[in-house]
Amino acid sequence: MILLKATKKLFLIGLSLYLSLTPLSGHNQSPADRHQPHDFQASKAMVVAAHPLAVKAGVEILRQGGNAIDAAIATAAALNAAEPFASGIGGGGFMVIYLAQEKKVTVINFRERAPAAAQPTMFHLAGRLQPKWRRTHGLAVAVPGALAGWNYALQKYGTLSLQKVFQPAIKIAETGFPVSSTFSSINKDEYDKLLEMDGENSCYLNQGFPFEPGDLFRNPALAKTLRLVAKKGIKIFYKGELAQKIVQAVQKKGGIMTLEDLASYQPLEVKPWRGTYKDYEIWTIPLPGSGGLHIIQLLSIFENLPLKKWGYLSPNYIHYFAEALRFIFADRARYLGDPEFIKIPVAQLISKKYAQKLIAKINPKKVAESYPSTDFSPPRHSNETTGNTTHLCVVDEQGNIVSLTQSINHFFGSGIVPEGTGFLLNNHMDDFSRNPNSPNAPGSRRHPLSSMGPLILFHQGKPFLVLGSPGGTRIFSSLTQIILNIVEFGLGLDEAIEAPRFFSYSLKGEARPLFVEKRIPASVLDKLQQMGHKISLRQAYDKYFGGAQGILILPAGQGLRGGADSRRDGFGGGY
């Protein structure tokens, strides 16, 4: 044991030295030589997701006669096994479903909720904020909703059983797979957290050390858990043996979750929000998923601006986009939270009139001196946060569609693994505001505000594009850029997804840096600096901006095109 601890200390010293010599953390780096086109084609049905094994799982279910909902849940479960650092049954999310025969769009909200005992100052001690409690602590864990949401979707809109659609995920967890460079680099970045929260015997460490590329990763404990849920149903997770293990793990680390919190969790089926952009319709999730609202806002802003005249990646386009984001973030901080508990002026925020007011605030030649100030600050934003979520898209032969985003928040979530279960618990309580007076402050059984924005874009009344992405507060910015890349700048789907990205926000009325991938031409960046933007260069293909997945539905008879982001291990498949 002494030798093992000494060896670990040497590893940590070496890792710290490596990181000190590296401009950005390993999982943010996507060198050009790793970039590969991710353009996929199919004639009848397609699945696109963040890992090839998850795609294989979804396609397998489609070939066995399952519909898009069945395949989406199989893919979501497989991502828990193949990409466990980003999502799983210890987390939550949202899905947008289109039912072709009924021509109906619906949304399932399976976002986590705060425990009943949560209150606005729960992360403060003697009046001082305790940041660690929000990330690596039992208080960081919100009540998981993934299993409840998957099960609801299957029972209402699927055709196969939970036991059937879980089989591919069980197989992946049982037999394992070679670790990718993405998995390995993220594992190294989160090494301290995993050691602290789950110990050196963690199933997410290789004999106490991070996994290296090519190492075999198996998770028999997760396979056992999924097999148990498949056999006995989700009640064992929310009211039985697994519920007890979850509560024990959370409370052991100082949390307040109870068995009643788990037993009372229910997903919600809600009406989608609809926005328009010229002759396109955006169908997306409502609050507490703010990504949909902000995508509608951004597209309304750009609807009447001369984008084609300005040109793709032009200084004017990027300037207006960055300024629009900064004004939007000011209002996000002032108004947004869980609509079950607070009144939000949604109609005004997504109106065309509101978009015109925001356009009028933007100076075409320079950065604004200030942005609408409010009493509240947006959720904490940091360069260190990355695309700690995942997205999948499915289109089946009948034309049914699922766009699903799910997460455990930060990579490897809270780092807490309930004993013997093999799955990670989320740290989504960190998505509540740090300010106890914010509309997004923690509260009893509230949903934390989310930036997720899974969507289906319709063109002239027909499904045209299925799209979503991880990426925290960069989600809605990235998705809007992808949409505009396609419908305004004429890029193909994969080209639109791989295109250089940029992002900014405001904090307490002040502009924050303009974060850009370094592939954007230097001449453009020089012009933006002349306008007053402070440029922060990111890697060429940076996970900071998420990992989008999409399916383009071509006119009748022309099939499907899939695009998967090379910023992660995205992949697509179909037939």
Q: What are phi and psi of 515, to 5 degrees?
A: -85, 125
β-pair partners for 562: 40, 551
Token pair for 492: 């193909």
User: Does the pLDDT of residue 486 top 60, yes or no?
Assistant: yes
Spatial separation of the C-alpha atoms in residues 72 and 68, rounded to whole Å: 6
Q: What is the pLDDT of residues 431-465, one digit of tens each?
A: 999 999 999 999 999 999 999 999 999 999 999 99
pLDDT on residue 37: 59
227-233: long-range contacts (C-beta < 8 A, 24 or more apart)?
A: 227/166, 227/170, 229/89, 229/147, 229/162, 229/166, 230/162, 230/163, 230/166, 230/167, 230/170, 231/163, 233/151, 233/162
- Which residues form the catalytic set? 389
Q: Which residue has the higher pLDDT, 183 or 201?
A: 183
Q: What is the pLDDT of residues 124-148, one digit of tens each?
A: 999 999 999 999 999 999 999 999 9
Q: What is the pLDDT of residues 16-45, one digit of tens each?
A: 433 333 333 334 444 333 456 577 999 999
Count how many Cα atoms sit within 13 Å of the Cα of residue 4 in the half-sphere of its side chain: 9
> How many other C-beta atoms can be found within 10 angstroms of the C-beta atom of residue 181?
17
Specify the domain boundaries for CATH 3.60.20.40 within the chain: 272-382+453-574
- Class of the 272-382+453-574 domain? alpha beta
Q: Tell me which range, 27-31, 127-131, 189-193, 480-484, is most confidently predicted by mean pLDDT.
A: 480-484
Q: What three-state secondary structure class fits 108? A: strand
pLDDT on residue 222: 98
pLDDT on residue 35: 57
